[in-house]
Amino acid sequence: MFKNNPFSISDNYINELFLKNGYGKNKPRLRKLLKIIKDIGYSPNDYALEVLRQFGDIRIESNDDNDHYAVKLNFSPLTAAIYRYDIERFSSESAFPIGMLFENVVYVTSSHKVYSSDGIDYYFWGDSIEVFLISAFCKDSNPPQVLYKGLRLGSSLVDERREKKHASDFALECFGLPVSDLYIRELFCSHGYGRNDYDIEEWIQILEKQGYVPNDYVINVLKKFGGISLNAKGDVDHYAVQIWFNPIFAAEWKFDKDEPLKAFCSDSLFPVGMLFDEIVYVSETHEVYSSSGDSCSYWGDSIEDFLLAVFRKDTEGRKLLYNRNYEMPVEK
């Protein structure tokens, strides 16, 4: 059992594993993280705060044994908050992201219930973080309850539809996504593209106060892609990609205000989201750039060029403009 821990874990293996990975050594610094997450739109409940005070910043990668599963667990609310999954249609109460279990975001509610989702499948783990941990690690425990099984690329449902309809006809059903690649079309449409225009009014108001000036192209991009979060595994022809279209989160870093990105783009830039740990910007002339603060890249003359370059292995990909490790910036 964890020392001075309000959470009681009966399994000694789990106790030792968490202690070995830093449990109880330092209190996590939550204030700045929670401010960013609140700006995104999440409000932490008391139970989520207590969980994060105890487990925040702990990362576990355990191996399989006779009694326990191999588990990859990261108590990082900032990482989890990137993926805006609609967990509340199953939880029936507000849920706060506390971390990641493999590729699933883990949420807790004020009534202590624990849920998870990868954006396609949704699970209920139990009525406390203790039950969640036992279920996640122990082979003799009850598995999570499956709340919803969604459509996955390559699943029997997709194959079934392709047998009935030509692939190009299936692509045309994907709400007009202006990308020729069928994989990308299916991926975005299965994550909500085209169902309804995203309500960006609050986003625009917040960003205008920060000095950003939206143009018609950016507004259209955000209406179509706003809120979509992908963690794609890739295949033979496509890269694994993590991307999230949320300008509020992206605007926190303000890399567009710094050199060297300004040296390569004279247009004003507008944040539209994140690609892995880079901020993605769109210019007045529709060009797409990204920056991590240490490097910046040019992706193409439109959001379509950007998506093809990000996903497809047979495209030119990014053009690196600058890297702090280089003696001279790379010319665009």
331 φ/ψ sector (left φ>0, alpha ψ -120 to 50, else beta): beta
| pLDDT tens by residue, 179-203 | 667 788 878 877 777 667 888 999 9
pLDDT at res. 295: 84
pLDDT surpassing 60 at residue 210: yes
| pLDDT tens by residue, 265-292 | 878 899 999 998 899 999 988 999 999 8
Looking at 22-26, 46-50, 217-221, which range is the least confident one?
A: 22-26
Which pLDDT band holds residue 5 (cuts at 50, 70, 90)? low
For residue 67, count other CB atoms closer than 10 A to its CB: 11
What residue ranges define each of the domains in the chain, with the CATH number in brackets? Answer: 12-148 (3.40.1580), 151-191 (no CATH), 197-323 (no CATH)
| pLDDT tens by residue, 224-242 | 898 888 888 888 889 999 9
User: Smallest Cα–Cα separation from 59: which of 6, 99, 113, 24?
Assistant: 99
Give yes or no for a contact between 242 and 275, defined as CB atoms under 8 angstroms apart: yes
Distance CA 114, CA 112 (A): 6
pLDDT surpassing 90 at residue 20: no
Give yes or no for a contact between 205 and 213, defined as CB atoms under 8 angstroms apart: no
pLDDT surpassing 90 at residue 307: yes
pLDDT at res. 41: 73
The mean pLDDT of the chain is 80
Give yes or no for a contact between 49 and 103, defined as CB atoms under 8 angstroms apart: no
User: What does the pLDDT average to over 244-261?
Assistant: 82
Which has more confidence, 317 or 212? Answer: 212
| pLDDT tens by residue, 70-120 | 999 999 887 787 777 778 878 888 899 999 998 889 999 999 999 998 877
Element (H, E) at 273: strand 269-275
pTM beyond 0.95: no
pLDDT at res. 40: 66
**What residues contact 259, with CB distance under 8 A and at least 6 apart?**
none
Distance CA 9, CA 55 (A): 13
Which has more confidence, 206 or 182? Answer: 206
User: What does the pLDDT average to over 143-163?
Assistant: 52
pLDDT at res. 2: 39
pLDDT at res. 136: 93
Distance CA 192, CA 24 (A): 41
pLDDT at res. 207: 92
Which has more confidence, 2 or 74? Answer: 74
